[in-house]
Amino acid sequence: MSDIAALAKTAFDPDAPRRVGVAVSGGSDSMATLHLLAPLYQVHAVTVDHGLRPEAAAEAQFVAAACARLGVPHHVLHWSGAEATGNLMDAGRRARMRLIGDWARGQGLEHVALGHTADDQAETFLMRLAREAGLEGLSGMRRSYRSQSVQWHRPFLGVTRAELRRYLRDAGIAWVDDPSNSNPRFERVRARAALAGLADIGITAQGLGRVVDHLAQARAALDAGLEPFIASYVTEEPGALRIEIAALKHDLAPEMQRRLLNAALIWVSGADYPPRAAKLGRFLRDLAPCTLHGCQITRNGTHLHIAREFNAVADLRVPTGQIWDGWWLEAPDGQDVAGLTIAALGPNGLPQCPDWRATNLLREVLLASPAIWAQEKLIAAPIAGFENGWKARKEASSFATTIFRR
């Protein structure tokens, strides 16, 4: 228990503000995180009501009552999970992170704690192992990372769920159990069951956590070896990358080629994880133009060009003031932004940018670039040379800095 208390004291960077956010679902992991951090920091709590189960609203109220007893400000955010398509758990995770990021920025919070545990790390490892992931995927979740202009922390990533529940029981703190956590329809639930079965041969969540740490160290060493290549043969454009093909083929071993392309696809797409190994392997065999991982890959003879795929963002529309596909759009001073939205420039907007060819950017890059719209009227498209006082900047740092900093 003392180890958990010590981890709580070092949950954030030493120079981090004392005012921090904590994401709380009402489950044991997040409730323990809330109660461990609340005495030490000026905590603001947030709960996302996903609307997928009738109990969700009551669970949010359960968290609100716990926060009131602690004197912690609490907000409830809403996501219409019933409208999600495809992988429901992944869609829910992405929506939660987006909503919490928007909330944190609105509250002026630069640091947010998540309640992930050693069990989550081990389950993630097993799921990625099933997908035949490479070193990137098997290196696991990071203890701290930056996204959406927020620094996210997992202070109890090395602590098991059982340990956190023991802390809660000893302190007389209740939590809620999400029934979806026992539904074998979900991959994570099946991974949890598999992990329990592996205990008979000595494979535990904490043991897999140590394996993940070793893999992360190996990854960092390999990543450092790619930095000279990136400096010489990779060119960064607004939201896109160009890679010299001859150098890629002749200067890098196959594993390093794979690592570079994984990193490039993650950076351009903004995804949290690389493409499936089999898909990337097929691409690397002949480097043929294709769409992969939300990116459009083309060749112009000497270079591969990796840009965001327009179809991946064609339906993405957010109000001004929010991050759009990893881009910040800054309005000119005094601009009335009421009713304006951010969406892809697309084939309808590009002809309205008379100077787009002067940007020397490929059409694929510009189609998927951010633009300001008043319904169907184009107001600005900074990447395409039609600024109209607006500025666009990618939230992520440079390619090398973002990918190789863990």
CA angle 194, 197, 135 (to 5 degrees): 45
Domain end point (choices 264, 293, 310):
310
Domain end point (choices 279, 310, 341):
310
Domain count, the chain: 3
pLDDT, one tens digit per residue, over 50-98 is 877 778 889 999 999 999 999 999 999 998 755 555 556 677 788 899 8
Q: What average pLDDT score do residues 107-135 get? A: 93
Domain-embedded: residue 139: no
CB of 325 closer than 8 Å to CB of 370? yes
Is 366 in the same domain as 324?
Answer: yes
Is 81 in the same domain as 160?
Answer: yes
5-14, 188-197, 301-310, 394-403: the lowest-pLDDT one: 394-403
Which helix (H) or strand (E) segment holds residue 82: the answer is none
Domain-embedded: residue 405: no
Domain-embedded: residue 279: yes
Domain end point (choices 310, 331, 365):
310
Domain-embedded: residue 149: no
Question: How far, in Å, CA of 62 to CA of 56, rounded?
Answer: 10
CB of 30 closer than 8 Å to CB of 7? no
Question: How far, in Å, CA of 109 to CA of 154, rounded?
Answer: 16
Which helix (H) or strand (E) segment holds residue 230: the answer is helix 205-233
List the CATH number of the domain containing 281. 3.30.465
Question: How far, in Å, CA of 384 to CA of 388, rounded?
Answer: 11
Is 40 in the same domain as 107?
Answer: yes
Task: Quote the domain boundaries for residue 239.
Answer: 226-310
CA dihedral 336, 342, 345, 348 (to 10 degrees): -70
Domain-embedded: residue 124: no
What secondary structure does DSSP assign to 239-278, as a single string?
TEEEEEHHHHHHHS-HHHHHHHHHHHHHHHH--SSPPPHH
Question: How far, in Å, CA of 152 to CA of 256, rounded?
Answer: 28
Distances (CA, A) of 241 to 111, 122, 156, 355, 387: 30, 33, 36, 22, 22
Domain-embedded: residue 221: no
Is 57 in the same domain as 194?
Answer: yes
| Residue entry with tokens 């594993």 | 255
- Residue 223: pLDDT band (50, 70, 90) is confident
Is 36 in the same domain as 111?
Answer: yes
**Average pLDDT score over the chain:** 91
Is 13 in the same domain as 90?
Answer: yes
Amino acid at 219: R
Is 331 in the same domain as 244?
Answer: no
- pLDDT over threshold 80, residue 138: yes
pLDDT, one tens digit per residue, over 320-348 is 988 899 999 999 998 889 999 999 999 99
Verdict on whether the full-model pTM lies above 0.95: no
pLDDT value of position 56: 86
Hey, what are 262's tokens? 């994984």
Is 102 in the same domain as 175?
Answer: yes
Domain-embedded: residue 127: no
Is 235 in the same domain as 377?
Answer: no
Domain-embedded: residue 131: no
pLDDT value of position 41: 96
List the CATH number of the domain containing 61. 3.40.50.620
Is 65 in the same domain as 179?
Answer: yes
pLDDT value of position 406: 44
